[in-house]
Amino acid sequence: MLKEDLGKLNIAEINQALLAKQFSVKEMTASFLQAIDQSKLNAFISINDQAIAQAEEADKNLAQAKDNVLFGIPLAVKDIILVKDLKATAGSQMLKNYIAPYTATAVKRLQDKGMIVLGKTNCDEFAMGASNEHSYFGPVLNPHNQTRVSGGSSGGSAAAVAASLATVALGSDTGGSIRQPAAFCGISGLKPSYGRVSRYGSIAMASSLDQIGPMAKNIKDLAYLLQAMAGVDKLDATTSHKAVPNYLENLKVKNPRDLVIGVPKEYFSDKIDIEIKQAIEEKIKFLADNGFAIKEVSLPNTEYALAVYYLLMPAEVSSNLARFDGLLYGISAAEDLSLDQWYKTVRSTGFSEESKRRIMLGTYILSAGYYDAYYKQAQKVRTLIKEDFVKVFQEVDVLLTPATPTPAFELGAKVNDPLQMYLADIFTVAANVAGICGLSMPIAKTQNNLPIGLQLLAAPYYEEKLFVLGNFIENNK
């Protein structure tokens, strides 16, 4: 098999090829590492220098692949998720030389299945951004058009999968940071329900919103990864004790037409790019013509979701990033400075403008006299948003919406306009605020050949509904 064909294979196809000895795990790993080295996308921050040795060891135990489809599969990991002995920079100068002392639970569970970590992918600093232009290591370019952004903050993982630099990848999603770059890069990405996947070993941005999730070129590969990662973790008290379904079996036995699809009217305003709106409406008509029950629904508090997110998220950011002071973590300053000077030097030089903006905003929101007016009110509205979803999921199984209001925008177009940048998450933040699960998948392209993404949302811990409907859409284009 030609090297350039490896990136086109899905997990099951690679598994069959390995068992048929069409290539070895070492040959495959070397091929991906070579592609990464030759790529101009800036998708990776660092490479796992033990990947080849780990691949050689996998070849010695290839018999395990008979009953384990993930054995030997190459994996890219967002650089906000720890992998022991590899750099964990979070896309920041503050942690540019930090080496992870342990491995995140989500990655460990995949490694236990025999997956090979190729390296750590580029991301907006501490996962703060919608374009991957806020990384200390430079922006990630969109594989479909290198003058466009890859999306953020998991843009490196999205670009790596889209450009066949890895078979699958892990990202993290705080307000759309998996689903939005997946849509921009033309791949699929899953934001699991809050508590479905352990956050242990993920550098926290906003702890009540963050979730680790998979990114791949197809729905079934997302299901393979979630199956391995999901479940309670004694190292993360926020993980759910709910049983993990057999996602792959559900794909085989569930009838997708049993699902009632809801179309929330609040997600279809005139602010959406016309090509995206038309593509989504065509997909809705296709589903209706193929026997699916389609129901218009309302989520009346959706209009407040972005405002709630940008009050709660900075508040948690200001708390979580307090540890990066050059004493516990981060770069150091001259030893003869006073404590005040030390803090000012380390934090002003170590953080990007976007990180400092959010830290300052969060500190203000939590300050005396403003906590009740902003943070407390946002928590109340968060409850209303959750209740909207609870009500609507009593009527429908899955919500269908656009993933983004526009296709991937040009590099530099919004980097100096934070408010416009924040609007790129307008369709994705509500899922994090409410703790539900969401999936983004490609359905079309614009006239300029830029991917268009569709978003599916389901009630907490019903990821299998997203997989069943997403798989149907994917296989019936």
Residues recognised as catalytic: 78, 153, 177
Q: Give the separation between CA 342 and CA 352, rounded to whole angstroms.
A: 17
Q: What are phi and psi of 164, to 5 degrees?
A: 60, 35
SS3 280: helix
Give CA separation, 167 vs 404, 441, 443, in Å. Answer: 24, 16, 20
CA-nearest of 451, 426, 434, 445 to 384 is 434
CA-nearest of 309, 232, 302 to 271 is 302
Q: Give the separation between CA 12 and CA 224, rounded to whole angstroms.
A: 9
What is the separation of C-alpha 79 from the centre of its chain, rounded to a whole number of angstroms?
12
- The pair of structure tokens assigned to 46 is 């660092």
Q: Is the backbone peptide bond immediately before 153 cis, with ω within 30 degrees of 0?
A: yes
CA-nearest of 145, 229, 144, 140 to 177 is 140
SS3 145: strand
Residue in the block written with tokens 């997203």: 466
Q: Give the separation between CA 294 and CA 39, rounded to whole angstroms.
A: 43
DSSP-assigned beta bridge partners for residue 458: 398, 437
